[in-house]
Chains A and B, each alone.
Chain A
Amino acid sequence: MTFDEKPATPTPRSRSANGVKAGEASTLIDALLAEQRQLTAVEEFSRSHDAHEARGQRYKKLLPASAPAPGQQYAFEVDLDKCSGCKACVTACHSLNGLDDDETWRSVGQLISGDWRTPAKQVVTTACHHCVDPGCLNGCPVLAYDKDPVTGIVKHLDDQCIGCQYCVMKCPYEVPQYLPKRGIVRKCDMCSARLAAGEAPACVQACPNEAIKITVVDQSRVRGKYRQLATLNFRSSTNSPATNLFLPDSPNPAITLPTTRYVTTRTLPADLEAEDAHDVQPSKAHVPLTFLLVLSQLGVGLTLLSALADGRSRMIAIAALVATLIAVNLGTLHLGQPLKAWRGFLGWRKSWFSRELIAFGAFIGALSLHVVILHPLSAILAACTGLAAVFCSAMIYVDTRRPFWNAPMTFGKFFSTTLLLGGAGALGFGESTTALVAVLAGTATKLAFENRIFRFLVDEQDPHLTALNKTALLLNDRFAFTSRARVFCALIGGIVLPLIAALTNHSTILLTVAALTFCLAGELIERHLFFVAEVAPKMPGGVA
């Protein structure tokens, strides 16, 4: 820069050159600054609109002429032919509902044809589908969701929410969004207050092309239509005409029975793919949950090993209890509203989260009893309730129907962890043979289970990436080091050190503590990967 010096004589408010007198100049600045602060638009121009009908009522023709009959409900209908991709619906929803700065209840994605012969692009606007069988509602441990018996609108009770975010995992459409600042989840309620006043929802009001409207749908028809897909997994047949029943390249609608209808007069190309279909992004880490799962499984494992021995070791029982209590307490760090968590049992009819809470309650009770009476039967009782709790833990994830959290893989991992950590822990308490078998068998089984994911690493035949392909890619690529560290820990802590201890018949404290530490580290890493390498199902998006 050649900018040199400031004015040689910076004599503010005193210069006389060019006829500006000091007093006048400063007066003008002050006057202009004062003028700038005056807001006069109201006095001069504001007009009363009170006589006008409400803006939202102008779009009544986009609302159903009738209320839903029993067995029916309201639903969004999106006319794909009219959606031009302007995304006004997203911003209007944001503004008219007063959402937080970066909070959106509607989003817009794109479907692109992968075939150059049929260049096609389809914009897709999506919000809550107000499902017939809502995953969020079914998973909520505190009944913070209510499906309105008349309108079918799935409403979230913000004051009931404990911020456990299980609904976020249960919803295949990324609808409930966790707001860390508020410690709760919020979601679209179809502007039910507006509908009640005969006004159109914000997105409906805002679409320049009238692509979004509210219709009445028959719930049994939604059920019937998607029944044939019930056995499919997420995106397992993305490009089949079957999933096109709802929308191409979107989660299997049989899981929650979304009511939104995407209509078009055109024939959408069979190979439409979300614009972000090749975007491989890790999911959110859940550190408290990682510790909750691993330490609780250590607790149950110790109890199990203790029962398999003779159930006479109070030290093991106490260790199990301590591990479990630490686990449960760390688990509450996951909650946005821990003080309301006591209501967690309310959802027991449907929610595996509630069932897990109840099961762990029972386990802690049985284990405490066992610590006191140290009877073989109380050991068996505690072990059984503990295994039931681990079962519930696993079901929480299996029930989301996410591919990486499928039943064989999740049960395999959770029970193997229970076994191997129980074994590794018990080794330290001098339980030798059973513990050794447990830790070796648990580790071997577990590594075998985990390794299965890499079968999904490459599929030359099909360029489309399934969720499992993406998970395998993540583990192999972005998390390559973490994945290797995990195997290393397991091999050292679960195989090498126990074998040294057994073969040398020299089970020192140091050796067993080292084995347990490596095992715990390995399991924590594995459970961390369990969360971050999971690729959540979602509606078609755009490149982020």
Chain B
Amino acid sequence: MKKTSPVAADVSPRQISSNEVSRALTSAPTKENSLLREWHGPLSAELTLHPGNFGLGKVPARLRPDATTRSVCGFCSTGCSLDVHLQSGQAVNLTPTVDYPVNLGMACPKGWEALTCLAAPDRATMPLLRNPKTGKLEPTDWDEAMQVFTLKFKALMDQHGPESVAVLSTGQICTEEMAFLGALFKFGMGGLHADSNTRQCMATSHVAYKQSFGFDAPPYTYADFEESDVLVFIGSNLCIAHPIMWQRVLRNKKNPAVIVVDPRKTETALNATQHLALRPKSDLTLLYGIANLLAQNGWVDHGFIKRSTTNYEAFIEFIRQFTPDKVAAETGLTVGELYRFAETIHQGKAVSFWWTMGVNQSHESTRTAQAIINLALMTGNIGRPGTGANSITGQCNAMGSRLFANATSLLGGRDFLKAEHREHVAKVLHIEPSRIPAKNSLAYDQIIQGIADGKIKGLWVIATNSIHSWIDSAKLDSVFDKLEFLVVQDMFTTTDTAKRAHLILPAAGWGEKEGTFINSERRFGHVKKVSRAPGQALSDFSIFRLVAEYWGCADMFTQWTSPQAAFQIIKKLSSGQPCDITGIEDYRHLDAEGGIQWPFPELRSAKFGVRNGESASTPQDSALRTPHSAFKERRLFADGKFFLPDGKAYFYFDAPRSVSEPTDKDFPFVLLTGRGTSAQWHTNTRTGKSAVLRTLYPAEPYLEIHPNDATRLRIEPNSRVAIISRRARIEVTAIVTPTAQLGAVFIPMHYDVTNQLTKAEFDPHSRQPSYKYCAVRVEAIKA
């Protein structure tokens, strides 16, 4: 790309070799200290750089490593690999791994600062038990902590039944830990209700894929970002939320059309070739309208539809009502914009559709995600390079949670309600099938409601901060007050949720324990133990071992001796499922390969290099029939076969519904929430511990508001404003920006006040909260 610069200072430098550059640079005579001028000395030495070896280039002398090792990052689902710099086995610094297929040597600010939070002063270093007399949390030892844990939960279960104790877990711990927790709680402790914060981010994708494809199977690989000639982003601010994936978009050499569907002119929208700034929550209507335009113009792949899908006719009949005029009126877009969108999809040879939380966090999110899947299916944009209906995941191990947490699905993406599934899992785990509940767990919102109703009296929260992150959080204080026993297992004692705990179990964090994460593109990555946990903090895995021991069910978990051993169990659990990973040998194998995407079944010849000639009988087998070079980046459905019993994908649809709290005279603004900057992670529990990251985002919550709205309400830039919903009133700083939509304001989710405003509304299929729409009023605060 030729750059025309406002700076016209083109130079015509001498052409010389880079060796000469080095010589030129070093040719300046080494300066010696004199009485008047100190060129070197102890202060300068602090910053002196020395060769770091291990392919790192120069590093600060005091941080020079004696070894390095790779570990997958523990923030988001991109799954970047980091080279951790070690001194005597202890991490001192890190750099992103250069030859890892995910991040290609790059990391976002969170990744660069991943080690910082481990040294935070508010780490939990001892079990803390609330003294009923003083009401204060006081240090205790693990023995007493475990006794209290067991005694309290058993008492509640004995008195009120096994459903009176629930678990809220996370997408932030290792797959092995999730599986252990799920098995321990449901099979060992006899509990039923377990959900996790992945309900807040990925439940919709999980359900949408499961229904449409027959399995929770995001079909893509990151190489697809580079291979598309049309990329459609719906409710995804990739630049900020997944900067390392955006890197792959910029590496696309095909000069692709980038279409962004988002009410806000986000960083991603500003870099788009088409931005469809639709009205908030009119996305389902828009997607049906686009499907209708494609169908009416014959811009569909009839061959693929016939071969690989069912229910297309009913879908076409249904979307006929979404005429361009109607859709334009409801979305606030022009008919021209709709045609251009549809035509661009039609003209694309490889069109990929990507969505994130703008879709998933909605009152009709599952159907919206499926409307995206439908677009990919009807145009045959799936299974080929650069295509796909691709859900971009949120947390580093949301994918692990979806498949192996034993919460919504039985281990390995199975069904609690199916006797044959229960029997299979029981056999693999060497337990009685009767230990596996034949009932589904309540979802997160139902657990919260259960607490409010007094039915759930004990809660075990692991590595999540519900009081900050859950929707309509203003009422959570009083809800959590009803708990008779709240255990919070976390790295920090200072989260909003931990502060309310009766018992805090100090957990080791990312970098202090071992295990695997599964990233957005189904890649298992290895997480290593490179730092010592403070005090008596233990890995979540070890804590679960202790719980099993004290609960008296350790005999059921004799195989679960280490994460590595648990990984072997997970392999067995995956066997025969679409997510089969029986071909992965162990952690060393993962480490050596730079992560491995599922499926990776154990075939006749175990080494994938010779798989070219294998005959494929199942979809996952065909995915493996790729040359070695392409093996590291694989996609699903190349053969047009899906995981539903008939091998076909299914067109799901429903009539759009209005939101439960539309704007009105008193609350005229739509409140949108989402990620603020790339330097903040969710509730800021970890990113808030880094002084450098703190310089990269506003310390205080802020509101983005359109200039015309601001003028009308006499809101000055950077002035204080009040935002009032039917549930709460908060005060923040106003940022006046034309990137906001008229009538829609935005607050980042990282500040604890944000969710006091949001309204508890859920998608009926995925039970995911709708964080992206509620009605508010904005008022200037007079100085």
**Chain A bound to chain B:** yes
Residue numbers of A with Cβ under 8 A of B are 1-7, 10, 12-13, 15, 17-20, 24-26, 28-29, 32-33, 35-42, 44-50, 52-58, 60, 63-69, 72, 79, 81-82, 84-88, 90-92, 94-99, 101-102, 104, 107-108, 112-121, 123, 143, 146, 148-151, 157-161, 182, 184, 186, 191-199, 205-209, 215-218, 221-222, 225, 244-246, 261-265, 275-280, 343, 346, 477, 542-544
Instruction: Give every chain A residue within 8 A of B605 (Cβ-Cβ).
Output: none
Taking A3-B502, A120-B270, A208-B244 as contacts, is the C-beta distance between A49 and B148 under 8 angstroms? no
Please determine whether B546 and A32 come into contact, CB atoms closer than 8 angstroms. yes
Q: 5 smallest A-B Cβ distances: which pairs?
A: A18-B552, A98-B60, A159-B41, A52-B55, A67-B24
Cα distance, A33 to B739, chains bound together (Å): 52
User: Given B84, B132, B538, B693, which contacts A33 in the complex, CB threshold below 8 Å?
Assistant: B538
Q: Chain A interface mostly helix, strand, loop or mixed? A: loop
Instruction: Give every chain B residue within 8 A of A97 (Cβ-Cβ).
Output: 47, 49, 60
Instruction: Give every chain A residue within 8 A of B53 (Cβ-Cβ).
Output: 49-50
Binds A, one of B254-262, B348-356, B694-702: B694-702
The chain A residue with its CB closest to the CB of B485 is A3
User: Given A39, A118, A184, A279, which contacts B531 in the complex, CB threshold below 8 Å?
Assistant: A39
Taking A102-B695, A209-B246, A544-B699 as contacts, is the C-beta distance between A55 and B57 under 8 angstroms? yes
Please determine whether A218 and B11 come into contact, CB atoms closer than 8 angstroms. yes
* Any A CB within 8 A of the CB of B604: no
User: Given B58, B84, B94, B707, which contacts A197 in the complex, CB threshold below 8 Å?
Assistant: B58
Please determine whether B4 and A208 come into contact, CB atoms closer than 8 angstroms. no
Instruction: Give every chain B residue within 8 A of A13 (Cβ-Cβ).
Output: 143
Cα distance, A45 to B594, chains bound together (Å): 12
Q: Which of B23-37 contact A (CB under 8 A)?
A: 23-28, 31, 36-37
* Distance to closest chain B CB from A408 (angstroms): 30
Please determine whether A20 and B588 come into contact, CB atoms closer than 8 angstroms. no
* Distance to closest chain A CB from B212 (angstroms): 31
* Any A CB within 8 A of the CB of B337: no
Please determine whether A50 and B55 come into contact, CB atoms closer than 8 angstroms. yes
Please determine whether A45 and B591 come into contact, CB atoms closer than 8 angstroms. yes
Please determine whether B7 and A26 come into contact, CB atoms closer than 8 angstroms. no
The chain A residue with its CB closest to the CB of B706 is A116
Please determine whether B678 and A85 come into contact, CB atoms closer than 8 angstroms. yes
Please determine whether B542 and A36 come into contact, CB atoms closer than 8 angstroms. yes
Taking A13-B143, A102-B691, A193-B58 as contacts, is the C-beta distance between A265 and B9 under 8 angstroms? no
Cα distance, A2 to B529, chains bound together (Å): 39
Taking A37-B532, A197-B58 as contacts, is the C-beta distance between A225 and B737 under 8 angstroms? no
User: Given A88, A192, A280, which contacts B107 in the complex, CB threshold below 8 Å?
Assistant: A88
Instruction: Give every chain B residue within 8 A of A55 (Cβ-Cβ).
Output: 55-57, 95, 98, 105
User: Given A69, A123, A206, A216, which contacts B106 in the complex, CB threshold below 8 Å?
Assistant: A206
Instruction: Give every chain B residue within 8 A of A261 (Cβ-Cβ).
Output: 5, 7, 9
Please determine whether A39 and B738 come into contact, CB atoms closer than 8 angstroms. no
* Distance to closest chain A CB from B464 (angstroms): 20
* Any A CB within 8 A of the CB of B433: no
Cα distance, A48 to B55, chains bound together (Å): 9
Given contacts A65-B16, A86-B239, 11 further A-B contacts (CB under 8 A): A28-B549, A60-B18, A64-B13, A95-B94, A95-B112, A118-B738, A150-B25, A206-B106, A218-B11, A222-B9, A245-B6
Q: Which of B545-568 contact A (CB under 8 A)?
A: 545-546, 549-552, 554
Instruction: Give every chain B residue within 8 A of A45 (Cβ-Cβ).
Output: 69-70, 526, 528, 587-588, 591
Cα distance, A339 to B241, chains bound together (Å): 49
Instruction: Give every chain A residue within 8 A of B616 (Cβ-Cβ).
Output: none
Instruction: Give every chain B residue within 8 A of A542 (Cβ-Cβ).
Output: 697-698
Taking A56-B57, A95-B95, A102-B691 as contacts, is the C-beta distance between A208 and B144 under 8 angstroms? no
Please determine whether A543 and B733 come into contact, CB atoms closer than 8 angstroms. yes
Please determine whether A114 and B707 come into contact, CB atoms closer than 8 angstroms. yes
Cα distance, A282 to B8, chains bound together (Å): 37
Please determine whether A264 and B56 come into contact, CB atoms closer than 8 angstroms. no
The 0/1 profile, CB within 8 Å of A marked 1, for residues 231-258 of chain B is: 0000000011001101100100000000
* Distance to closest chain A CB from B736 (angstroms): 8
Please determine whether B13 and A49 come into contact, CB atoms closer than 8 angstroms. no
Please determine whether B16 and A44 come into contact, CB atoms closer than 8 angstroms. no
Instruction: Give every chain A residue within 8 A of B551 (Cβ-Cβ).
Output: 18
Please determine whether A1 and B502 come into contact, CB atoms closer than 8 angstroms. yes
Cα distance, A45 to B526, chains bound together (Å): 11
* Distance to closest chain A CB from B52 (angstroms): 8
